[in-house]
Amino acid sequence: MRSQSSHPRRTRRNILQLAGIATGAAIVAPVLHNLKISGFSPASVIHTLKTSKSILEAANAKNSQAMKIVASPKPTGISKVVLVHTEDRVSGTQQALDLLQPDGIEGKSIFLKPNYNTADPSPAATDTKLLAALVEKLQKAGVGKITVGDRSGMAQTREAMKLKGVFQLAERYGLEAMVFDEMSTEQWQYFSPSGTHWQQGFAFARPILQAGAVVNTCCLKTHRGAHYTLSLKNTVGMVAKYVPGDPFNYMNDLHTSPYMQQMIAEINAVYQPSLVLMDGVETFVEGGPESGKKVAANVILASTDRIAIDVIGLGMLRLLGSTNEVTQGSIWKLAQISTAVELGVGVSHPDQIQLITADRASQRIADQIRRYIT
């Protein structure tokens, strides 16, 4: 039954309509008086105005800074994927990089993106000894300044990085450690939703876009929400959950969308890594990302191509026996992979992948994987 009160019903629309009377930063006394006798608190209206103003400013900032995703031409050449059979992450990392010999990093500033979704032991998060071995190899290769950074999904980023010893490692090797959650608005680059499945686009870490070269070091594992998390999924940590002054929750957009797989691929279109290192010494074949059914895969993979290395990683999961989401149908039809192919992120056909090994044990695994990637 409708109220017989002489005051209008209090709704957000009423408040915004009344608040529209006030212009500029100040609200004159007669307006406040009229609002008060209409049943509204001046303080609440001022709060609404300030909130609306901040939302408007954030929206304007997005529009003025936003870049569009542009699909790259599909590569026509061969992408190498090194596979090293090993139980030792340190020696496996060293051997993988010696075999791959990635080009174009000497003298360049490096942004190193690990996986610190949580601080749980590998394969949930990047192993610290592996990270140290990778840094040593990069420095011996003559790279410039190295920055290491991430944004956690299930933990507080600074705490996760602290528990994993990242800040100590940074001090030891002269690195800069960066916590993305603590970055300013200016350190995020907006990308337009045009041509993507992101409702309001997404914000990407500028320090990665501005680096001379990007190194993506990821884990080999399944993921309850995204089905699997390899190099393409590791890019999610480069995207903001919130940008200061912008109330939109970008990670909620991702994790509640029926197009999560496509959205993961889309963010990969905005940067190109110079090196991808995947730790598969241990892997989750079920569950993940922070815990699950753990098995020894005993491999380290390295490449410069995210699709190529993820296809091989998925082949490894199929070889070990994994979830239906990972094992059913062609690997090339899985949404993360097929969307990344459409965007020109990497190779588009198994014939473009060259598996490189250095011993019989590694070659046997490579031969077994090949039947899963066609």
pLDDT bracket for residue 42 (50, 70, 90): low
Long-range contacts at 171-175 (CB < 8 A, ≥ 24 apart): 172/132, 173/132, 173/135, 173/136, 173/139, 173/146, 174/146, 175/112, 175/135, 175/145, 175/146, 175/147, 175/148
- Cβ atoms within 10 Å, residue 111: 26
Residue 342: what pLDDT?
97
Mean per-residue pLDDT, 340-368: 98
Residue 332: what pLDDT?
98
pLDDT bracket for residue 77 (50, 70, 90): very high
- Cβ atoms within 10 Å, residue 338: 18
**pLDDT of 177 strictly over 80:** yes
pLDDT bracket for residue 65 (50, 70, 90): confident
Residue 156: what pLDDT?
96
pLDDT bracket for residue 8 (50, 70, 90): very low
Average pLDDT of the residues of the chain:
88
| Predicted confidence (pLDDT) per residue in 242-292, tens digit | 999 999 999 999 999 999 999 999 999 999 999 999 999 999 999 999 999
Residue 57: what pLDDT?
58
Strands 188-191 and 202-205: what pairing?
Answer: antiparallel
**pLDDT of 70 strictly over 70:** yes
| Predicted confidence (pLDDT) per residue in 206-221, tens digit | 999 999 999 999 999 9
Residue 306: what pLDDT?
98
pTM metric for this prediction:
0.84
Residue 1: what pLDDT?
41
Cα(72)–Cα(342) distance, integer angstroms: 9
Q: Domain-by-domain residue ranges, the chain? A: 12-63, 67-370
**pLDDT of 184 strictly over 70:** yes
Q: At what angle do helices 128-140 and 166-173 cross, to 10 degrees?
A: 20
Rg (CA), the chain: 24
| Predicted confidence (pLDDT) per residue in 137-160, tens digit | 999 999 999 999 999 999 999 999
Q: Which two tokens stand for residue 74?
A: 């599909």
Residue 18: what pLDDT?
36
> Which is nearest to 106 in space by CA: 76, 137, 64, 149?
137
Right CATH number for 67-370 from 2.40.30.10, 1.20.1730.10, 3.30.390.10, 3.40.50.11440? 3.40.50.11440
